[in-house]
Amino acid sequence: MKIGGSLKVIGAGISWRRLGHAGSGRRLLQAVGGDDEQDRLLAGMALVRAGERSIGLIESAIQAGTAPTQAVQILADIGGERARSVLVSTAASETGLESAAIEALDLLDRIARLEDDR
């Protein structure tokens, strides 16, 4: 754990959520796919908390071929129709992220079934 790195991720999360600063979003994507477990967790939480804003960021990274697998999985945590749409497209793509997208879609389906059972 590197405190300086974690502080940068926290700062990027604040900047991304509040201002939508593209550089901060890229830093979060890099951290979510990185080696430091704490940074991955912090970045993932920031991306989820930013919600809709993060979906576009992740979708762009998928299209550019720079999205880490963990970013695709975060789409399931964000949820909603737009996230589902990106996951469906990714599952049908040839990006190398198909398996992650299929797993995320399965998770969304299981969540929906649980909500229906309430």
Residue 48 CB neighbour total at 10 angstroms: 15
Tens of pLDDT, residues 67-99:
999 999 999 999 999 999 999 999 999 999 999
* pLDDT over 70 at 108, yes or no: yes
Q: Output the average pLDDT for the chain.
A: 94
Measure Cα distances from 5 to 1, 11, 51, 68, 108 in Å. 8, 10, 23, 19, 32
Give the number of domains in the chain.
1
Which amino acid, residue 73?
Q
pTM of the model: 0.91
Range of the domain at 41: 3-117
